[in-house]
Every structure is written in C-alpha cells, then in structure tokens.
Structure 1
Amino acid sequence: MKVAQHTTYNKNKIALNLTEIAKPAIKPNQVLVKVTAAGVNPLDNMISRGEVKLIVPYKLPQTAGNEVVGLIEEIGSNVTKFGIGDRVFGRLPLDSIGAFAEYVVVDSAALAQVPTYLTDVEAAAVPLTALTIMQALSLMGAEAGKTIFISGGTGGVGGMAIPIAKAKGLTVITNGDGANAERVLALGADRFIDYKKEDYTDLLSNVDYVLDTLGGAETEKQMSIMKKGGQLVSLRAMPNGEFAKRMNLPKWKQFLFGMVGRKFDKMAKTYGVHYNFIFVESNGQQLQEVADIFSKLEIKPSIDTVYPFEEVNVALDKVANGRSRGKTVLSFK
C-alpha cells in the first residue's frame, strides 16, 4: 500500500517520502481502516521538524498523519462496537499514527462513528480539534453554569470550542474580528468582543475558565481576567512539569519541562490561577460525544483546500506557509 513517511527529523524540511509498504495486520483490539480522508495539521509538520520528539519519540521511518476518516474493512476478535463497513473517524493514538496511508490499523477505542450529515472531507476536520476542546474542558474540571473565555474564537478552534462548551452548559465569551461576530454568536457564544474596538481585559473579570488559543503575551493577559483558583488551558504556550507528569514522561523529561514551563507556573501563581498545557490524545468515547453534539446542531467545519493524497507535500506546505480559512484535507478517493 502507498504511504507518506518522514524519514529524518529536519527543521528545514517537512517533505515526506511517498513509498510502498505491506498492508498491516490487525491485533484483537484493532480494526483495519481503508482511509478515505485525512486531516493535515501543523502537528504533522512539527513532527517532521522534530519539535515534539521529547513528547513522542517516533522511530523512523514513520508513516505520518494524525487524523483519519475511513471505512472499516477488518475487525479484531475483541472488537464489539464496530462492524465491517462502518464509517469511522479519529485522532490516532500517539504511539501509532499513520493516517497518510491507503490503510491504517487502529485500536478501536480511538474511533467513533462519523455523523451521517458530514462528508468524509468535512469529518477529517473534526477529531484533533474537537478532542483538544473536550480534553481541555476535562482538565479544567469545567462545570455547567460557570463562565469560559475562549480567546480568538473566530478561528477553527473556536468554531468547535464554542458549541461544545455551550453543550456542556457553560456561559461562553469570546473575542476576534468583528466581521465574524454574527457567525460566532450563531454558534452559541453568549458574548462577543471585537478586539479592534475593545480590550477584553478592560471588560472581563472573575472568569472561571480560559481556553488560550493565542499564546505569547495574551496568556498572561488572560490570567488577569480570571477569578482566584481559575483554570487556564493553553494550546499555544509552553509545556510544564505538570503536563509531563500527566503524560507519564520519564523523570528527566519531567524535570526539563518543569524548567521550560516554570515561567508560566510562576505567572499563574502571581494571579492565583492554575496553568495547564495540553497535547491531544486519542479518545473514541469523547469523540463520540462530540459526534452526537454535532449531529444535533449539524455543525459543519470550514474546509480550505482538498488535495489528492499524492500531493501530500503540497498540502503540508500549505499548512506551513499558506493563509488558511479552514482545514486542509487529503482525499484518497
């Protein structure tokens, strides 16, 4: 079968090697998926550049791709919740990625049924982002009736975070370009702040939770609007020691990340809040919950460009260097 692999860690080269390998065999808890679409993400380029090897040290060559949609062709003897022909999607387990391939073997616990209203290409835009939101809310211990600020909510992350947070019973405040206000409010946001006209730090206080999608100086600004004991989860700042412990990384990596993230831990202590960093993991149960929420609301993710699988390197370059108005997706049809 045809696959796209990264063969070296190289900060200056994100191109993958298209090659042929044998179709994989399944174990009792796994299924064989014929890939129909795969999401292309900044994470795929980060892996090629070696930027996440401290978190997940892949043995090279490694078939790339983290986000998959496809049809089940074979089922392991222990798998009970899926059948042959089921259309499934998922964020592949960290230690067994490989969505950029004609077939992939996946632990069934990583998968969920694709909502019927979504095309394969649309479904490929969901798992990584949606699971990031679900796991961030879980990490926060988010409770219905409390308030969350989602920074930069007009982007792809906000487009999923807002309806998921609303479905969990949270009051949602977000900010962004005013041109997108109507669309974001239609997703369920309770309040929208136009960053060109107003500074959220002048308007907000006593916020329970923050989902930081911006990083940089904005991380500290967001801490300043929170109530004491509040929980901030960042998608863009730095990992810390607590993150390393949660990921069960070796002690020396826990020490290293503790040093790297110390600035943010100290900052959080100054504001009396808690700082978290997240690296999304596979979870079919959480993804099924998302699928059920999305099916009720018929939310459609934004798609920027669809490339045939053979143009995987063009797609990766687009993600790295192009201005995107939605998800970049590979199609295998």
Structure 2
Amino acid sequence: MKALQIIKYGELKDGLAINETAKPSSNATSILIQTKAASLNPIDYKLVSGGLKDMVPLDLPSSTGFDVSGIIVEKGTEVTGFEVGDAVYARVPQQQMGTVAEFVAVESTVVSKKPENISFEEAASLPLIGLTSIQALERVGLNKNDRILIHAGSGGVGSFAIQYAKAKGAYVYTTTSTKNVHWVKSLGADRVIDYKKEDYKSIVSDLDLVFDTLGGDYTLDAFQVIKEGGKVTSIAGVPDEETAAMMGIKGYELPENLARLIKEKSANYKLTWMQPNGEQLDEISVMVKEGRIKPIIDKVYPFAEGIEAYLYLATGRAKGKVIISMS
C-alpha cells in the first residue's frame, strides 16, 4: 500500500515522501480501516523537523498522521460494537501512527462510528482537536456559566473548544487576528478580542478559567486574569507535577515562577497530554449529530499532494483543519 512517510528529519519538502509499505492487518482486539481521509495537526510537522525526536523517537522511515476516518474492512475476533463496513473515525495511539496511508490498523477502543450527517473529511478533522479540548477543559472542571478565555480561537483546537464550551453553557472570550474576528464570532464566541488592536489583559478579569493553547508568557499571564481559586488548563505550557509523573518524568518540580503564581491565586493548573479515547469520540459524535459541534475545515488536499498539505499547515495560516483525502 501507499503511505506518506517521514524519511529523514529536517525540512518538510525533503523529509517527507510517498512510499510503498506493507499493508497492516488486524489482531484480536483491533480493526483494519480503509482510509478515506486523514487530518494534519501541528505535531505532525514538528515530528518531521525533529523537534520532538527526544520525546517521540521514530524508526525512520515512519508513516505519519494520527487522525483518520474510513471504512472497516477487517476486525479482530474479540472486537465488539463494530462490523465490517462501518464508517468510523479515530485518533490513533502514538505507536500506531500512520494515518496518511491507504490502510490503518488500530485498537477498537479508540474508535467511534462516524456521525452520519458529516463527510469523511469532516470526521477526520475532529479527533485530535476534539479530544484535546475535552480532556483539557474537563480535567480542571468546566462548568455551566463559567467565564472562560480560549486563546487562538481560529486554530484547530481553539475553534473546537469555543463550540464545546458554548455547548456546556460557558461564556466564552477568545483571541484572534483582525481578519478572523467575524469568522470566530460565528463559531459562538461571546467576545472576540482582536489581539492586533486590543490587549486581552485589559478586557478580561476575574475569569473562572483560561485555556492556554500558546504556552510561554501566555501561561504565566493567565494568572493575571483569573479569579481567586481560578483555573488554568494548558496544552502548551510546562507540566504540572501530576502530569509529569504520568509522562514518566522523575523528580520533577514546578518552575519557581509558576509555583508562586499558583499559590498567590490558590489556582488549579494542569497541562494535558491528550490520550486517544473512543468513548469521548462517541460524545463528540452526539454533539455533531445534534448540531452543537460543526467541523471546521480550511483546505482539502488529494493524497498525491500530501507534502503540499504539510507545507500549508506549517505556515500557520489555516482557519480550522487541513485534510488529506484518500478518495
């Protein structure tokens, strides 16, 4: 079968190639999916650059991609709840990376049936950003009527998180650039802050929750705008001690400046390292069927132009998701 693979670390145009590789097969607990579409995420091009090789070591050449939608063509003897012919979608575990390929084998526990009211391309856009948003927000406890700031509302995670937080009854502030203000407003955000013209720190205060999707100073500045006892949930900051233990980091201590900020506000701070989860995809499917979540796609590329899709994603200009269609 054909697959888009990382062949060496470095520039995207040199580090990726479409190659012939062995077709996978299912085991007792997995299913084999004929891929209809796969979506790209920032982690994908960061893997090619080599920026994550210490955290995610790869045996090159390595097939790329984590999000997939398609048709089940084979299932293991112990798999229940799915049948050959079912339309499904998933975010595959790290060890099963390689969704930009004609076939993908994946454990059935991370798979969900595709909502019937969306396309394969739309379904492929949802897993990583949806699971990341749900796990990050629910880990600190998103509640109805919470006032929340979600950074980078036009990005993949941001655009999903806005819709999810609104579906849960929150009041949503978000940041974006001038050209995206009206588009982000259409996602349901209550107050869109144009960071090119406005300083969000002068607009928001006493928030229940900040969703930090950017890291760096944004993580630290979040403590300026939350209330006493507020919450900061991050996907780009440094680990909290619980997450560090989950990641196998021994003897970890919070940076002194972050620890001080947490103490001063009696705040709850968590970093989320997203994990595949079929049951949470089922929850997303329900919200999609009910119209509370709408997939956001920027561009769809054919498989033959997969490298061009990576190059576009790396520009940082995408509004929503970049998809590779295998059809």
Q: TM-score, normalised by structure 1?
A: 0.87
Residue in 1 aligned with 2:27? 27
Distance 1:138 1:54 in 2: 29
Is 1:324 matched up with 2:323?
A: no
| 1:81 CA displacement | 1.3
1:323–1:151 CA distance, 2 compared to 1 (3 A): closer
| 1:182 CA displacement | 4.9
Contact kept in structure 2, 1:205 and 1:225, CA below 8 Å = yes
| 1:240 CA displacement | 4.9
Contact kept in structure 2, 1:94 and 1:281, CA below 8 Å = no
Deviates more, 1:82-91 or 1:168-177: 168-177
Q: Which runs of 5+ in 1 are unaligned?
A: none
| 1:185 CA displacement | 4.3
Distance 1:273 1:138 in 2: 16
Q: TM-score, normalised by structure 2?
A: 0.89
Instruction: In structure 2, give the amino acid aligned to 1:85.
Output: G
Residues 83-232 of structure 1: matches in 2 within 5 Å? Answer: 83-177=83-177, 180-232=180-232
Secondary structure of the residue that 1:143 maps to in structure 2? coil
Q: Deviations over 1:42-99 (max 9, x none)?
A: 1111122232334333333321111111110111111111111111111111221110
| 1:128 CA displacement | 1.0
Secondary structure of the residue that 2:31 maps to in structure 1? strand
Q: Deviations over 1:206-230 (max 9, x none)?
A: 2121111233332222221112332
Is 1:16 matched up with 2:47?
A: no
Residue in 1 aligned with 2:284? 290
Is 1:69 matched up with 2:69?
A: yes
Deviates more, 1:66-75 or 1:223-232: 223-232
Q: Percent identity?
A: 38
Residue in 1 aligned with 2:296? 302
Secondary structure of the residue that 1:101 maps to in structure 2? coil
Contact kept in structure 1, 2:93 and 2:275, CA below 8 Å = yes
Contact kept in structure 2, 1:303 and 1:328, CA below 8 Å = yes
Distance 2:316 2:213 in 1: 19
Secondary structure of the residue that 1:307 maps to in structure 2? strand
| 1:319 CA displacement | 1.5
Dislocated runs of 4+, deviation >6 Å: none
CA RMSD of aligned residues (A): 2.5
Distance 1:325 1:184 in 2: 9
| 1:199 CA displacement | 3.0
Deviates more, 1:264-273 or 1:91-100: 264-273
Contact kept in structure 2, 1:265 and 1:275, CA below 8 Å = no
1:298–1:150 CA distance, 2 compared to 1 (3 A): closer
Instruction: In structure 1, give the amino acid aligned to 2:314.
Output: A
- How many residues are matched? 326
Residue in 1 aligned with 2:3? 3
Deviates more, 1:80-89 or 1:182-191: 182-191
| 1:106 CA displacement | 0.7
Residue in 2 aligned with 1:274? 268
Q: Deviations over 1:252-288 (max 9, x none)?
A: x344xx4685654444344432332223221111111
